[in-house]
Structure 1
Amino acid sequence: MKLLNFIDNGIVKFGVNTKNGVLDIASALAAVQASAGIRVPSTVHEAIEGGTAAVQALQVYMEEVEKRGGELPFLWLNEEQLTWAPCVTAPGKIICVGLNYRKHAEETNAPIPEYPILFNKFNNTLAGHGDDIPLPRVTDKVDYEAELVIVIGRSAKYVAKEEALDYVFGYCAVNDLSARDLQMRTAQWLLGKSCDKFSPLGPYLVTADEVGDPNSLDIKCTVNGEVRQHSNTSDMIFHIDEIVSYISQHMTLSPGDIILTGTPEGVVLGYPPEKQVYLREGDTVTIEIEKLGSLTNRMVSESR
């Protein structure tokens, strides 16, 4: 199932992608009462926290609404008319894994990590599909990074690798934008990773059952239509189950937490200095991951 968020009159609303368009769940619930005993999640975080039972309730309810589709055509929205919000709106934690693709580590002349390299971002970095991304005035070296995101669905602590995927609700795409000059200013990467809107997330949150094996997904980044990154999640050094298990040994993961799993080769930083052309005003970046859809954002000058 493909879940999403959109903005209507300044309010974030919850939707589900269907063959008829995007079903506006709040409007549907106001028009069609759910059958007795069915508790339909009205926000993406209710769906995440409710897990499999919530997804099943959504599926049953959508079937009920579709039976009355001819009477209620206004419940289905055209994606092209949406103002998208991040597909996860309020993660408790945003955890990132650095240098997690073998060829990316090689292109940046970095040693292959012995353990996952972890850092964090904050909720100020979240943005939606279609959002304009302001290029901060304090940097001129903003780089793109196509990444697969894990969305945690159950509280996880000391989870074994063999059980780790059971704690994943679903997956989405992100552009882990990075101001390289700020990132490399000190040994800590946080400054270059945490500028406003540096984590556009979406367009969909796709449930784990629909994705299947997360370690065999095609992943691509294009800038103004030119392919810059094209790889497969199979090139990860630490795979999804290893990442979830490793992090859970050190902190409790909670429903709605997101984990950015690293980027493949092809980033600007990986080019020789004379060939490095960082993102500029007007550039359009699209992150495309198999089964997860395409996430597109345009770079703009920061408002003065």
Structure 2
Amino acid sequence: MEIVRYVEPGAAEPRVGVRQDGRVTPVGFDSVGALLREPVATLREKLGPAGSEVDAAEVTFLPPVDGRTEVWAAGVTYERSRTGRVEESSAATIYEKVYDAERPEIFLKSVAWRLVTDGEPVALRADSKLDVPEPELAVVANSAGEIVGYTVCNDMSSRSIEGENPLYLPQAKIYSGACSVATGIRPAWEVDTSDLAITMRVVRDGEVAYDGETSTARLHRTLEELVATLFEPTDFPDGAVLSTGTGIVPEMSFSLAEGDVVEIEIEQVGTLTNPVVRGREPMTWLVDALERPGTRRKAQQ
């Protein structure tokens, strides 16, 4: 079962529902943000049907994040991520220290409206020379900081910009097309996160240009620790999504290119596929999708 956000043909407003066995059934929440105000103890009972089911192939799926819900990300949570950051950075010791530090690295990644989802493009900054996708397990937490579920995240990153100076992290990580999440949220009570296989491949001109794999068993910090760190100083009235870092980092000789396709799969959680574009202009449709979410179907084709 997956919690989803979608638009039916001809409808103006998104709905929240449950996807299972190729069908989508609406539930009694008008937004995912409202759903994330619900305690985990009662949420399971409230995901019952609140309308007629529809064929999943007939609807347009949206990112399962809306309203005031934000996406944050953690960095240097896998040993491979530490190694990769050291390789690229002019201030390598910073990444070595944060890996073992008491305080994890956490940063804002995206507001809800700027997210893309499965089939939609992710982007490279026009002024970046070295870029990579970062496949990550994302934790979905409610307003009380309880883990509600999990989804797949692609935390796009400019290695050349961040490597030039760690203070450029926001520019390397936050821009249009920099964050993609899968269309569904797997409920926490259906997933065992202790050892989930995470795989990624990049397809270029019909052939695999890069592939890699890791497991959540290699996470240096617990999911609960990361969520607690995020919520300790800040209120999230409509919950938050926290992407938990990557254990798959290509060698410095590899960079994404316009036209590539990034394919990510996380065991028990889902899949995420995105074509790659370059620059700001190919992502301007996100502004139109604010008022007309149904137009996103064109971006997914």
**Aligned equivalent of 1:19:** 21
Deviation at 1:179, TM superposition (A): 1.5
CA gap of 1:94–1:136, structure 2 versus 1, over 3 A, is same
Give the Cα–Cα distance (whole angstroms) in 2 for the partners of residues 263 and 20 of structure 1: 30
Deviation at 1:108, TM superposition (A): 4.0
CA gap of 1:296–1:248, structure 2 versus 1, over 3 A, is same
**Aligned equivalent of 2:56:** 78
Q: What is the SS of the residue equivalent to 1:104? A: helix
Residue 29 of structure 2 aligns to which amino acid in structure 1? P
Deviation at 1:238, TM superposition (A): 0.8
Give the Cα–Cα distance (whole angstroms) in 1 for the partners of residues 78 and 142 of structure 2: 25
Q: Which runs of 5+ in 1 are unaligned?
A: 27-39, 66-71, 157-166
**Aligned equivalent of 2:36:** 48
**Aligned equivalent of 1:250:** 233
Q: Given the alignment of the two structures, is residue 173 of structure 1 paired with residue 137 of structure 2, yes or no?
A: no
Deviation at 1:237, TM superposition (A): 0.8
Task: Show CA shifts across 1:268-297 (max 9, x none).
Answer: 3xx1x4xx2211111111121111110111
Q: Given the alignment of the two structures, is residue 234 of structure 1 paired with residue 217 of structure 2, yes or no?
A: yes
1:186-205 → structure 2 map (5 Å cutoff): 186-188=165-167, 189-205=169-185
**Aligned equivalent of 1:138:** 127
CA gap of 1:287–1:105, structure 2 versus 1, over 3 A, is same
Deviation at 1:178, TM superposition (A): 0.6
CA gap of 1:252–1:57, structure 2 versus 1, over 3 A, is closer
Task: Show CA shifts across 1:117-148 (max 9, x none).
Answer: 12222316411111122333222322100001
Deviation at 1:20, TM superposition (A): 4.5
The answer on whether the counterparts of 1:179 and 1:193 sit within 8 Å (CA) in structure 2 is yes
The answer on whether the counterparts of 1:91 and 1:258 sit within 8 Å (CA) in structure 2 is no
How many residue pairs get matched? Answer: 261
**Aligned equivalent of 1:121:** 109
**Aligned equivalent of 2:201:** 222
**TM-score, normalised with respect to structure 2:** 0.77
**Aligned equivalent of 1:159:** none
Q: Quote the sequence identity (%).
A: 22
Give the Cα–Cα distance (whole angstroms) in 1 for the partners of residues 123 and 80 of structure 2: 29
Give the Cα–Cα distance (whole angstroms) in 1 for the partners of residues 220 and 126 of structure 2: 34
Task: Show CA shifts across 1:235-273 (max 9, x none).
Answer: 1111101212233333334442111110003x23xx1x4
Bigger Rg over Cα = 1
Q: What is the SS of the residue equivalent to 2:182? A: strand
**TM-score, normalised with respect to structure 1:** 0.77
**Aligned equivalent of 1:34:** none
**Aligned equivalent of 2:275:** 298
Q: What is the SS of the residue equivalent to 1:222? A: strand
CA gap of 1:142–1:11, structure 2 versus 1, over 3 A, is farther
Q: What is the SS of the residue equivalent to 1:151? A: strand
Give the Cα–Cα distance (whole angstroms) in 2 for the partners of residues 228 and 261 of structure 1: 20
Q: Of 132, 143, 159, which aligns to 1:154?
A: 143
